Structure 1
Amino acid sequence: MRVIVVGAGVIGLTCAVRLAEGGYEVAVFARDLPLETTSAVAAAIWGPYLSAPVDRVAAWSRTSYDEFVKLAELEPSIRLRHGREFLVDRTADPAWADVLDDFARVPSPPAGFADGWSYTAPVIDMPTYLPTLVKRLEAAGGTLTRAALSALPTEADLVVNCSGLGARLMAGDPTVTPVRGQVLTLEPCGLSEWLIADRGPDELTYVIPRERDVIVGGTSQPNDWNLAVDPDTTQQILDRAFELVPQLRKARVIRQRVGLRPARPSVRCELVRAAAGTPIIHCYGHGGSGITLSWGCASEVFDLAGQLA
């Protein structure tokens, strides 16, 4: 069966790898190549964010967690790191907590926070991981081609639509909207544990150490298409991060970037028939959870494709 996957972010590539390694003839077409996508900007720590519905997101997240734990044994772009997450209100355990062996409440959150938890999560270095997915795709016989499509293709046995924000056009779906995220890359400064502090959309702070740098964010600005770095926002991000992690003060800012998360009221992952009769699996609207849901959604896409065999 010939399959065309539209989109080369982490969702598109993961679906393509799963299908190609499962025996399908796979071609990926994308306007933006992997390192040009929002996925390349992501801090990429496992953990659902801006995605629904809760039950499906939890199931997809569990599948991805298990896969990343296995990949971390062989893939240098993936590390299991311990860290803490702080919240302003007392909060029930998240639906996905049962997959974590070391999930625990933080006994004394810092000032300004009423709750928090700690756990070990996969952290993925996306500029390294995305090319690894491309190599896996090609090793399985798949291809990746840059193509500025104006509509979903019809010349395949199956089309998998992983176009992210592009689904506004590709699927005629105006419920897909951007949530702007501005992030900074800092020099490594000896940090080994990550930190997330969520005071709300205007004060989202995260510090994610990787092997060669530290990703510091961020913002969560709905319906904002601006891809330009805002200097005032940069300073606000740094001020919040320095307050929580003073060690960062000695690290130089290497890079600043902006990504647009593809948000939707709920993730769309379903098999439909186009007017021309071509089967289409839509898989988009993952919000800030692309990496977290990637292997879970790819497994569901693979199962849906199997219904057509």
Structure 2
Amino acid sequence: MRATVVGSGVAGLTTAIALQRAGWQVHVLTAAPIETLTSHLAAAVWFPTHAGPPEAVTRWGAHTFDVLAGLAEQPGSGVVMRESLALYRSAPSVPAWATAVRELRPATAQELPSGYAYGLRFQVPLVEMPIHLPWLVDLFSASGGRLRFVRIAALDEVIDDGWSEVVVNCTGLAARELAQDRSVYAVRGQIVRVTNPGLTLSMRDEQHPSGRAYIHPRTADCILGGTLDEHRWDTDVDLAEADSILARCREIEPRLYQADVLEHIVGLRPARPTVRVEESVTGPGRARLLHNYGHGGSGITLGWGCARDVVALATLVS
């Protein structure tokens, strides 16, 4: 069984590895080095964001959580289990993702920053993508996978290449053109990377009056965010927005006043009304075409769950 995965972001690599584990010989096509991809830029903490449909997101997210928790035990994977605190200004309902996370409980008054009356404590995977993506590539290659740098103009080039039995479209935003899917749109995200002044707790406030705020400590730095700008395609750094991100994150965690700004980062998340994991009919004598894209801000959160569904589709009649 031979499959070609088009796209080498987190969706493409997890799909490729999942197919390998199911017995497939797999090639991955990428148009650019992995360090230039949106996946490489992501803050990458497990947390369902800007993706649907809800029932599938819950299922995909739960499976991905379990896989990432296992990877956190493997040295060099770039995955750690991170204590987290979600902040609220009014009493929260039980979130849909609650069944997947570990040790969910109400935060105590002593654990809450000034100005907050409610919070939820839990533990989730945090993935350092500059470490994790190369680790996935090495894992894929060690199992006989082939990564090819090829820029295609149409998926038909791969469907009709004579080698592939199944082609999996994991092209993210490029699916807007390659799959002629006009429902795909960009969700611009701007973050700030700063030195870590000794933080070990991830914190987030999704309803901050000045915009979303999150603080994700990593090994050698912290990621502060961030924006969720629908249908905005530019990747220019907005310095006023950067100042606002810093201000609201420092409001939550004053120790960030001690942190030095290392870098401003802007990336485009590939969104659509719902994540697309399904097959398109290609016709007799041609490779089958499966899709796995449109994860919005949840690529790392849904990756292994979506990949499992792709494998199920691929093996359905193969």
TM-score (norm 2): 0.92
Counterparts of 1:1-309 in structure 2, within 5 Å, are: 1-76=1-76, 77-108=78-109, 115-152=118-155, 153-154=158-159, 155=161, 156-199=164-207, 203-275=211-283, 277-309=286-318
Judge conservation of contact 2:114–2:252 (CA < 8 Å) in 1: no
SS in 1 for 2:103: coil
Q: Note the C-alpha offset of 1:116.
A: 3.0
TM-score, structure 1 as length reference: 0.95
| Alpha-carbon displacement from aligned partner over 1:93-139 (angstroms, at most 9, x marks no partner) | 12221122311123555566564311001101000000000001101
Aligned partners of 2:102 and 2:124 also within 8 Å = no
- For each residue in 1:171-228, what CA deviation from the matched residue of structure 2 results, as whole angstroms up to 9, or x when unmatched? 1111111110011111121000000111269601111001111111111111111111
Bigger drift between 140-149 and 193-202 goes to 193-202
Unpaired runs of at least 5, structure 2: none
Letter matched to residue 121 of structure 2: S
Unpaired segments of 5 or more residues in structure 1?
none
**Partners of 2:81 and 2:118 in 1: how far apart?**
23
Aligned residues: 309
- Per-residue CA deviations over 1:265-308 (Å, capped at 9, x if unaligned) read 11110122225643111111101000000111111111111113
User: Does the 8 Å CA contact 1:198/1:204 hold for their aligned counterparts?
Assistant: yes
Over aligned residues, Cα RMSD in angstroms? Answer: 1.7
For the residue of structure 2 that corresponds to 1:50, the secondary structure is coil
Secondary structure class of the residue paired with 2:273: coil
Aligned residues of 1:286 and 1:293 also touching (Cα < 8 A):
yes
**AA paired with 1:293?**
L
Amino acid at match of 2:147: L
Rounded to whole Å, the distance in 2 between the matches of 1:170 and 1:2 is: 21
Whole-angstrom distance in 2 between the partners of 1:251 and 1:195: 16
> Aligned pair in 2 of structure 1 residues 202, 279: CA closer, same or farther (>3 Å)?
farther
Query: Once the two structures are aligned, what percentage of the paired residues are identical?
Result: 38
Structure 2 vs 1, CA of residues 281 and 112 (structure 1 numbering), >3 Å: closer, same or farther? farther
Indicate how the Cα distance of structure 1 residues 268 and 251 shifts in structure 2: closer, same or farther if over 3 A, else same.
same
Distance 2:19 2:149 in 1: 19
Shift of 1:25: 1.2
Evaluate the alpha carbon distance shift between residue 114 and residue 280 of structure 1 in structure 2; reply closer, same or farther with a 3 A threshold: farther
